[in-house]
Chain A
């Protein structure tokens, strides 16, 4: 940017003197002479061994063209060359610099005439090795936009992989554009080791979506940053400039680090010339915008962008074929491919139309042709999430249509869809389930079983796993009972253990998938898997125990009676098994015990505890996790007593688990903390804390952190009342030690740990507070931002305790200290400091705050301008708090200043900030009177930004609410006279919000606003009417039964014609208004309006009127009875004789 500006200025300078085209020509000729031949240059570079900065290799890794690289290095080198002149000769005056500049221009002008279009290429620069290849390679003319040079493979003998087949479109005009995918612009000049990489990137269908999109992105960036050409420069700069040759003494420098530090030229807009620079339309002939390089024949222009990776699927579409020569089948395939492409890559509109087309025509196309194209597409590894989602949608829709026609393709579809079930992406799994569920509904159970039956005893575990999952989906779609007989048969299969394994796994998956819906079938399912516990194959026994665990987990807390038959084998199993299978059995028991009644739970816990305690010592990580989990489950059961746990479980538990090693693995850590908290809630916190409190001073930080977290959670749950003084001292001492000694980045655990302990201590914390505050103060001064932030956060935690302990002096001191730190640079830290400040102000009160509010607030005003979310949130909270409680300490002028700052806050992205801001407007208005604040806000209605205006209207409404509406309504209504659409709409909107907030207070203002609403409801602008209608709705809802019916009937007459509007927002607002008025005036009057059009000859009218009627009927049916018409049947065909029957004589009865 700077460079561009400089150059332009220079040219302006000598515009008058040197505006001679002849001189320009001369300059060019001269430049030509001075130009050393390109090849020479590059050889030179080879000899000097100058390498491009940063190493070319990583560039080529990412697949950017070596050639482009050369452009960069050259331009930067030219740039640095200029710099070097500056630096070497300080005396040199500006004119000479100008000459240099223009000299470069001259050279480049000349370059435009020569085969290569890029002017930077010709600058006399010692290029890098990369340049040599590039410059030798392109002897012929290229299009200047063409960033994907058509590489002639001969130039790069090193990389034969570059010879991607080039596909041309039907007409010759697009021959210039290289076709054939992104492989083309991969740097082909790769050092040996990367040849493979380069070859791989050539085929887009082999790349991952991430890789492809990064490639595309990179290409886009480079297109934006490409060097300027002479044509572009000529378009920007007015006539009358000449290009001056560089002086003979000019020697470009080539120090690599300079190239690194020089900024590449960004695209700057060239305003000011008489012939403005035109934005180039992207890639001639290429459909893909950012140069995807694929071309479509003329007849296919309506198709969406074709990405390189789509090529292998949609290539046939690129051929221009004569529609008449196609057979039916081919035409069909082509049609389907076109529709799929539109669904996959098209605009939302195209997508919608094509999707509907595919759905409607599904049966005509037939299942075969459709799935033959969709399924390979779905399997392609380059498919992005969004595209997969769309294709899944297609399948979903056509499945409904095809119904039984899908049967022959069930297996094919399953092969493609099943892997989705174990995808790591949650949404992929959900979509996979959805398809399989629809498929099973369309094809029926028998077909599904027939299709998946062979996979059940497949030797490949992966296939069996996905099949089991697919079966569970089928079960949830068609009902579990339908599948039970089949499962029973599978689980008793004599043929292979794999079949039994899969059968049991299906049960497990079913219970995971459907959750508590297994309960009605629990007995059947348990019986199906039961024999598996004694199976001869160990894998079957393991999966059986896991299935039982899943069943018990899904059915908790019910269904223990169904598990009766498996209890015995399970308990026998844990005695006899070892290792992995034991882990599975323990898991099952862990889930079953919580279902039992207390007595049995106690008994079975004691039974299993022996084994568990034995396994405490296991070195196996998986086993440890399961044991911990089972202990937690057993301990939390009602029947297990605290004394038993204390005596039997605790000693080995602490001995084996509370060791440093456990803190290293994340999952072990979590499980151990959870289990310990659970144990402590049974045995009381003293026993547990006593055991681990001294570990707070352990030398391993990770272990200290684990201890802190556990103690924090225990105390949060159990309180601190059981702790005696000595334990309390040890605890606080240890906590402070751990807090001070922490080094790691994870500050949250220590913070909450210490915070919880101090809060729980309450009054008992008094002796420790000076020490704690000393630590905090010390850490607030730390070099590391994290530490300062944590210290500030801790103040917010302990501030309430300071109050309880009546440490007012300490608190004031902290306030002063925090005040001094308001100059903090790191926004995260500043946010925390503001939060701490808020906590201190909250507990100490506005009156006793030090520093006094009148000093504090002016200091906050500039901070409000900070754009960081956390700072904004905390500062607005603090300011709002002060405005609410202590507004009188601050002069009105300062509050107005803050009002102006607050307007900016309305732009915040976070809703909480905007809400806090509008509330603060209310507080300020209350403090200093509404008129000034209101003037500010009304002025802000003129801004363009919608969100800002909306927030302003809310603020106006809040001001009205807090300062009584009569102070605000006149000014607001007056503002409606401003002939600005935004302002008028803003006024209506604030009225709408205001009436929503003030509720029944609104009854005093109805007659004042009716003329305004009348006017708005008759406005030509749709939004006017919409907003006015919502104002009417809110107004009406506030004042039912207060005698304002006349006004509402009047307004209803204005609202009513609008029910025929088409825009959904408008219609919604109108119906809301009508609903509001119904509440205010009663349904009878509205029924009279409605009866006029229920049987109107025009369907459009009937539709709207019936909608109103249905609303009336569902909300106030009984009230309508009194208003029903006596007869409307007259005049309808054949009605005359029925009329007597119609009359309801009871209604005529009078006493």
Chain B
């Protein structure tokens, strides 16, 4: 209640600006490839970050948890392969 309508507008416009600074957020001109790489990395990061997922994956792979974590981290580098050639615009 303390903020006025204009304050809120200001905050929301700043929010957009702020979000743009972080990895993972997108913008209308983002290429599919970049976005897909991001969500791929997010997926791996989530697996690495949740211990239950780590044990599950390593059980499936019959690997140690450490090795699985290493493998997943490795996969986060270029998860979708090399970037496609883009037409210049």
Contacts and interface: CB of A to CB of B under 8 A. Distances in A.
A854 interface: no
A1106 B33 contact: no
Contacts of B59: 1151
B43 interface: yes
B35 interface: yes
Contacts of B22: 1114
Given A1114-B22, A1118-B46, A1151-B59, A1144 B32 contact: no
A1071 B25 CA distance: 17
A1141 B47 CA distance: 18
Contact of B81 (A1095, A1133, A1141): A1141
A1114 B57 CA distance: 27
Interface string B25-66: 111101011011001101110110100000011011100000
B16 interface: yes
Interface in A816-834: none
Given A1065-B5, A1103-B28, A1106-B30, A1144 B43 contact: yes
Given A1095-B32, A1124-B39, A1071 B12 contact: yes
B81 A1099 contact: no
Contacts of A1134: 84-85
A460 B36 CA distance: 68
B40 A1106 contact: no
A1132 B39 contact: no
Contact of B40 (A1065, A1110, A1144, A1151): A1144
Nearest to A1105: B28
Nearest to A1142: B80
Nearest to A1122: B46
Nearest to B20: A1110
A1128 interface: yes
B27 A1106 contact: yes
A976 to B, nearest CB: 24
Nearest to A1065: B5
A452 to B, nearest CB: 37
A1125 B39 CA distance: 9
Contacts of A1144: 40, 43-44, 79
Interface string B73-89: 00000011100110000
A1064 interface: yes
Contacts of A1124: 39, 42-43
A1121 B57 contact: no
Contacts of A1149: 56-57, 60-61
Contacts of A1107: 16
A1130 to B, nearest CB: 10
Given A1064-B9, A1124-B39, A1114 B25 contact: yes
A1132 B85 CA distance: 11
Nearest to A1118: B46
Interface residues of A, number: 38
Interface string A1064-1106: 1100100100000000000000000000001100010011001
Contact of B8 (A1068, A1120, A1127): A1068
Nearest to B25: A1110
Contacts of B9: 1064-1065, 1068
A1142 B8 contact: no
Interface string B1-23: 00001001100100010011010
B4 to A, nearest CB: 11
A1146 interface: yes
A1121 B42 contact: yes
B57 A1146 contact: yes
Given A1109-B26, A1110-B25, A1132-B32, A1121 B40 contact: no
A1128 B36 contact: yes
A70 B85 CA distance: 87
B72 A1146 contact: yes
Contact of B19 (A1110, A1129, A1132, A1150): A1110
A1147 interface: yes
A1138 interface: yes
A313 interface: no
A1133 B24 CA distance: 23
A639 to B, nearest CB: 44
Given A1068-B12, A1134-B84, A1138-B80, A1110 B26 contact: yes
A1118 B32 CA distance: 20
B56 to A, nearest CB: 7
Given A1065-B5, A1110-B19, A1142 B28 contact: no
Interface string A1108-1121: 01110110011011
A1103 B49 CA distance: 31
A372 interface: no
A1138 B84 contact: yes
Contact of B24 (A1095, A1102, A1113, A1125): A1113
A1068 B8 CA distance: 8
B30 A1117 contact: no
A1135 interface: yes
B32 A1129 contact: yes
Of A1110, A1129, A1132, which is in contact with the most chain B CB atoms at under 10 Å from its CB?
A1110
B26 A1141 contact: no
A1141 B80 contact: yes
A1106 B32 contact: no
B85 A1142 contact: no
Nearest to B13: A1064
A1129 B85 contact: no
B19 A1114 contact: yes
A1095 B28 CA distance: 8
A1120 B26 CA distance: 15
A1094 B60 contact: no
A643 B87 CA distance: 85
Contacts of A1102: 28
Nearest to A1104: B28
B42 A1120 contact: yes
Nearest to A1144: B43
Contacts of A1142: 36, 40, 79-81
A1147 B39 CA distance: 13
Which residue, of B26, B30, B49, B72, has the highest number of chain A Cβ atoms within 10 A? B26
B35 A1094 contact: yes
A1146 B84 contact: no
B86 to A, nearest CB: 9
B75 to A, nearest CB: 8
Nearest to B16: A1107
B80 A1129 contact: yes
Nearest to A1100: B28
Nearest to A1099: B28
Nearest to B60: A1149
A1133 B33 CA distance: 10
Contact of B84 (A1113, A1132, A1151): A1132
B16 A1110 contact: yes
Contact of B36 (A1109, A1120, A1127, A1147): A1127
Interface in A180-220: none
B43 A1147 contact: yes
Contacts of B30: 1106
Contacts of A1095: 32
Interface of B: 5, 8-9, 12, 16, 19-20, 22, 24-28, 30, 32-33, 35-36, 39-40, 42-44, 46-47, 49, 56-57, 59-61, 72, 79-81, 84-85
Minimum-distance CB pairs A-B, first 3? A1102-B28, A1149-B60, A1121-B46
23 contacts: A1068-B8, A1110-B19, A1110-B25, A1110-B26, A1111-B19, A1113-B25, A1114-B19, A1114-B22, A1114-B25, A1121-B46, A1124-B43, A1125-B39, A1128-B35, A1132-B84, A1138-B80, A1138-B81, A1142-B36, A1142-B79, A1142-B80, A1146-B47, A1146-B57, A1151-B59, A1151-B60
Given A1103-B28, A1142-B36, A1147-B43, 12 more contacts: A1064-B9, A1068-B8, A1068-B12, A1106-B26, A1110-B19, A1110-B25, A1117-B24, A1124-B42, A1129-B32, A1134-B84, A1138-B84, A1149-B60
